[in-house]
Structure 1
Amino acid sequence: MSVKHALSRGLELGRSFFQLGLLKSGGRVAAKLRAERLRGAAGPSVRCAQPQAFLPHRYRYYRTSLRGLAAQLQAAGFRRFGGGSARNRAVFLAFGLGVGLIEQQLEEDRKSAATCHEIQAVFRKKRFEPPLKPLNLSGYKLDDYLIGNQIGKGSNAAVYEAAARFAPLHPTNTTKTPLVELEEKEEKHGRRSISCCSLRNFPLAIKMMWNFGAGSSSEAILKSMSQELVPAAPTAVKQEIEHLSLEGKFGVVPRRVTAHPNVVQVYRAFTADVPLLPGAQEEYPAVLPIRLNPHGLGNNRTLFLVMKNYPFTLRQYLEVCTPSRRHSSLMLLQLLEGVDHLCREGVAHRDLKSDNVLLEFDSDGCPRLVISDFGCCLTQRDTSLQLPFNSVWVNRGGNASLMAPEVATAVPGPAAVIDYSKADAWAVGAMAYEICGQPNPFYRAVGLESRKYHEYDLPLLPPTVPAEVDLVTRLLLRRNPQKRPSARVAANMLHLSLWGRRALSVQGSEATRRLVDWLLCQSAVVLLRGCRGPRGSTVEAELQRSFLSNLELEELRTAVGFLLYGQNNQDLCVMSA
């Protein structure tokens, strides 16, 4: 809407106020407004102080407020000045002009929001599809898989490398050979046994849950461990037992999250008798059943999950490597994208730590992170992520050291509720220290406690860390969740810092238009590049697609506001220094 059009609309509206208000008595106008208020849903009157189509439906609050303000101005004009004085005309004309300018801004906002929704619709049609075929998945029985050495162990499960019983020797060789024969041939020629950890020969990982009190029936096991099925693929469970897994903790049905590049996916889930796997007698003898260990406390059957085999956990990787500036930004961004995806689908992980994040590399050498281990997650039908906290026996989550302040300080009561909508984002902020090469401040090495720390107690990040990463980390670690950005807003901040710096160079009235123009150009570039990012990285391409498929104008503006706030604070610090 041009300025000329805004002026004409303002003059027209002011004239209508003037005619309807000054040519009638104040009592008739007040009676007219009272009658409209009483009629309510009966429909608008034939003549009113403000055109009904002036503002869109979503701005009904402003429409009502403006009508009330116009009535107050009219009444004040009658009481103080009487007839149609020049001053009274000026007041009404100025008011009409202001409303016209408001409409201009609202029209621009509507166009920008519509553009964001169009971009979002285009990229949501191209959903992420995990690589099922290259993994050579097998059936729903433990005998269908060859199990190798142990690669991980937690508080409720052990993870082993695995492969389908029949798999090709090389990706280019389509001849299927039993892996047992391959192992014998390797040993015969004096080479390393294939039973060691080898992603080429063991592309899968099997997670064996520890079953203490769930019983040995498939129904009881699936119901008790249903949280582990949250990242399960549509074909992970047999159709005849699909209905058995539809009961979770907290009395709600656990959600099945859609595939996402930064969330692990379970390809197969089944129950089977507990086998005597390598290291079981030494590593976890107490969880074995009596038939395998006379002193064992476990049940005969348990749940097995088949997933992709990743070479490292995030903790293992960070113990030997220090990511570059760009890789540290990309790693933090991937965690935020994964947390945002879970929050949008009504899932709070509640046990986010570097041990539960798996890592691999794309063809360009960029780390790809996936969130795993959903045994402590909270799942809900809606996306509020609020858990009634009426007793101290309610499970608040996993790792107490990385428990968000609003969770750690919650006090049980009849109407108490724990809000987990930003708890995982807080944990990502704590993990950012590890990604940037520093000790996690909420572990014993530093000694901060989430329930009573102060924000000025947080240690400084190294000066080599990008300014935007430092800003996002400190915002995520705010104690007050109302002042803390959501995972989506924090991810948008990193997206803009990595690929949209030019869009942030303009401020004022042209900022939104410049931002929308950049979004259109970015969408075209991502579509043309396909699965490759700006540096040939598939990880960056996945991140850009995830960003464009979740575009919301208000969240993007909030991210820009945080970035400008950070820049202004840095400028003030430089000036004071």
Structure 2
Amino acid sequence: MSIRAFGTRLFRHGQTYVKLLCKRDINTKCNIAEKINVVQQSAPLQGASNSRQVIPRAFALRNVGLQVGLHARRILIDNVLNRVTNTLAAELRKKAARRIMYGDSGPFFALVGVSLASGTGILTKEEELEGVCWEIREAISKIKWKYQDIEIDENRFENDPITVKDLSFAKPIAKGANAVVYSAKIAEKQEERVEMVDGSFGLVEKRAKIDDSIDKYPLAVKMMFNYDIQSNAMAILRAMYKETIPARMYYSNIGISDWELDLSERKKHLPPHPNVVAMYSVFTDYVPELKGARGLYPAALPSRIYPDGEGRNMSLFLIMKRYNCSLQDFVSSSPPAMRTSILLLAQLLEGIAHLVAHGIAHRDLKSDNLLLDTSESHAPILVITDFGCCLADKSSSLSIAYANHEIDKGGNSALMAPEIINQSPGTFSVLNYAKSDLWAAGAIGYEIFGQVNPFYQKNLRNTDYKEEDLPDLPSDAPALLKALIKNILKRNPSKRLDPEVAANVCQLYLWAPSSWLKPGIFKLPTSAEILQWLLSLTTKVLCEGRLNGGGAHQTGRRTYTEYLLISSFLIRARLANIKAALSWIHSN
């Protein structure tokens, strides 16, 4: 190269190179999480107030304004663009960034274009590719989705913990052997003393005038039956702590700080997840006489209410989001559409992957312990509930020693995994629950696809079934998902997929390029290709799922449930697990 040509090239590109170096230096001083946190603290929603209200449903982000969403997208894009090392592509990168940020009809394709801007892809080192995955997880984790819908005003109960007197109860929703569930709401101040029919005053409204719809009574309050535990808040919470695993707040009348300290040393924390029941608060209080109590659960009532009752005076109360129905009710009313069944299965696997990732085993999965929000009937949101049989002790992880028959294996023996139901006690015996919930999900999969659960029939038992005797799923069910359910119902747990990989298989079926799933293709996509696809999904969530004024209308190309599923996938996305799922797909 001549001196003149060298000087010309240096003059043309030197300034761009210096600017890039300066920009890289600035960005290395502040990671993506710190940037988003600063934005969230400094850019509150316009028009927000401190008053408590139920926010309307929207297919959008919750509590995150347009400005915050814009900053989140800009931070992700800046971090990705800074990894492109070819300085000659600077102008192209700037144009692509402008297209992404300011209204292109296909922003996710523009972001994929950015990844190709340097000619050879963004990066080549595997650890750097995983670094981009980390940035994707960080960006998606900052999104506050509106899957909870209801807010408990913590300021109202800051000095005076929530109790039964703060709730307005309507009709009972369900009753089991250990608890009863009522529809309820937080009583407004003007409703705290309501005139009764006889002229007296109390906390119960005139029943004839109650509109107990889910819009008016958006909460479900579960009252546990207490037969044996003394009427003491500490004793009740210690004995029933498994029920409280998904809870966000704990309230009791006395000693709550001591109990929380004790509990934090024993139990594992389960962060909120779209496919785990939204449990807002837990408290202990005296058992009230609610509507239908003497007819529904007379034995559980204390003698001060019902003379023949055997219950104690105090019990545990759980405040949860109210859901429309159980999975059992949903599938028994009419067989769901195939697309709906696939979405339900994917959500169930996502919920289980979340539990396993935090070292928790549910141990009582069945269709009536899975609740649905059917605001969108063709795409309902599924959540796992009823954690009374769960394994969530820090000392046990997902395995416990099985020295004798007194150790509880869990609930619902019909859907207990073979390695659990067939295990015999002994000095060195262990109950390993790492894949037991996954096995139960495979059995429930038959119900999700409109068929009878094979393990509820007398001729097929989980103790001694043969895998070849498992019935076929409907003929129109995808072949990949048929193979997936057969895999997770294998008797030997070592032959089953890992729960996270199983969830990835379902997610890949829903969103991955069709060319990746075609049978007979032996070449797996490269890490760079997988990353480009992840970036496109990320841009979909950040750009299409933006706030739309709180209205209940679809804002993007997909349903609200589908955006939740994609975000659940992205928030745990790792190249190694995605490759493991793709490898399994190609071998099956």
In structure 1, the residue matched to 2:460 is 448
| 1:336 maps to which of 328, 331, 349 | 349
| 2:492 maps to which of 456, 466, 480 | 480
What percentage of aligned pairs have identical amino acids? 37
Structure 1 stretch 312-321 or stretch 192-201: which is displaced more? 192-201
Paired letter, 1:546: S
| 2:136 maps to which of 78, 94, 119 | 119
Structure 2: distance between partners of 1:514 and 1:523: 14
SS at match of 1:370: strand
Q: Given the alignment of the two structures, is residue 263 of structure 1 paired with residue 248 of structure 2, yes or no?
A: no
**Cα 1:490–1:179 shift into 2, 3 Å:** farther
Structure 1 stretch 334-343 or stretch 234-243: which is displaced more? 234-243
TM-score by length of 1: 0.71
Paired letter, 2:471: P
| 2:568 maps to which of 537, 542, 546 | 546
SS at match of 1:394: coil
Structure 2: distance between partners of 1:409 and 1:463: 32
**Cα 1:403–1:247 shift into 2, 3 Å:** farther
Q: Unpaired segments of 5 or more residues in structure 1?
A: 1-105, 168-175, 185-190, 567-577
In structure 1, the residue matched to 2:542 is 527
Structure 1: distance between partners of 2:193 and 2:218: 12
Paired letter, 1:260: H
TM-score by length of 2: 0.70
In structure 1, the residue matched to 2:300 is 287
Structure 1: distance between partners of 2:213 and 2:163: 22
| Alpha carbons 1:503, 1:511 under 8 Å: kept | no
Q: Given the alignment of the two structures, is residue 164 of structure 1 paired with residue 186 of structure 2, yes or no?
A: yes
| Alpha carbons 1:223, 1:245 under 8 Å: kept | no
SS at match of 2:454: coil
| Alpha carbons 2:454, 2:471 under 8 Å: kept | yes
Structure 1: distance between partners of 2:176 and 2:373: 20
Structure 2: distance between partners of 1:141 and 1:111: 51
Structure 1: distance between partners of 2:395 and 2:567: 25
Q: Given the alignment of the two structures, is residue 212 of structure 1 paired with residue 227 of structure 2, yes or no?
A: yes
SS at match of 1:418: strand
In structure 2, the residue matched to 1:153 is 175
In structure 2, the residue matched to 1:222 is 237
Structure 2: distance between partners of 1:399 and 1:391: 19
Structure 2: distance between partners of 1:195 and 1:243: 40
Paired letter, 1:143: K
In structure 1, the residue matched to 2:40 is none
| Alpha carbons 1:252, 1:379 under 8 Å: kept | no
Structure 1: distance between partners of 2:133 and 2:466: 38
| Alpha carbons 2:221, 2:320 under 8 Å: kept | yes
Q: Given the alignment of the two structures, is residue 467 of structure 1 paired with residue 479 of structure 2, yes or no?
A: yes
SS at match of 1:343: helix
Structure 1: distance between partners of 2:191 and 2:525: 64
**Cα 1:178–1:247 shift into 2, 3 Å:** closer
**Cα 1:244–1:108 shift into 2, 3 Å:** same
Structure 2: distance between partners of 1:528 and 1:489: 27
| Alpha carbons 2:284, 2:315 under 8 Å: kept | yes
| Alpha carbons 1:334, 1:543 under 8 Å: kept | yes
In structure 1, the residue matched to 2:267 is 254
**Shift, 1:302, TM fit:** 0.4
| Alpha carbons 1:343, 1:383 under 8 Å: kept | no
Q: Unpaired segments of 5 or more residues in structure 2?
A: 1-122, 199-205, 547-553
Q: Given the alignment of the two structures, is residue 199 of structure 1 paired with residue 211 of structure 2, yes or no?
A: no
**Cα 1:529–1:395 shift into 2, 3 Å:** same
In structure 2, the residue matched to 1:110 is 127
Query: 4+ runs of 1 displaced by more than 6 Å?
Result: 135-138, 176-179, 181-184
- Superposed CA deviations along residues 309-349 of structure 1, whole A, max 9, x for unmatched, are 11111111111132211111110111111111111112111
| Alpha carbons 1:232, 1:267 under 8 Å: kept | yes
Q: Given the alignment of the two structures, is residue 385 of structure 1 paired with residue 407 of structure 2, yes or no?
A: no
**Shift, 1:135, TM fit:** 6.3
Paired letter, 1:200: D
In structure 2, the residue matched to 1:409 is 422
Paired letter, 1:553: L
**Shift, 1:237, TM fit:** 6.2
Structure 2: distance between partners of 1:238 and 1:113: 48
| 1:327 maps to which of 330, 340, 348 | 340
**Cα 1:498–1:539 shift into 2, 3 Å:** same
| 1:394 maps to which of 384, 389, 407 | 407
| Alpha carbons 2:152, 2:280 under 8 Å: kept | no
Paired letter, 1:298: G
| Alpha carbons 1:352, 1:402 under 8 Å: kept | yes
**Cα 1:179–1:341 shift into 2, 3 Å:** farther
**Cα 1:247–1:287 shift into 2, 3 Å:** farther
Structure 1: distance between partners of 2:129 and 2:279: 39
**Shift, 1:399, TM fit:** 0.7
Structure 2: distance between partners of 1:135 and 1:272: 18
In structure 1, the residue matched to 2:258 is 243
**Cα 1:331–1:446 shift into 2, 3 Å:** farther
Higher RCO, 1 or 2 (CA under 8 Å, sep at least 6)? 2
- Superposed CA deviations along residues 382-429 of structure 1, whole A, max 9, x for unmatched, are 784111111110011011111111111111112211111111111111
- Superposed CA deviations along residues 70-120 of structure 1, whole A, max 9, x for unmatched, are xxxxxxxxxxxxxxxxxxxxxxxxxxxxxxxxxxxx965434433333322
Structure 2: distance between partners of 1:507 and 1:436: 30
**Shift, 1:180, TM fit:** 5.5
In structure 1, the residue matched to 2:164 is 142
Give the number of the structure whose alpha-carbon radius of gyration is greater.
1
**Cα 1:398–1:372 shift into 2, 3 Å:** same
Structure 1: distance between partners of 2:396 and 2:568: 19
**Shift, 1:508, TM fit:** 2.5
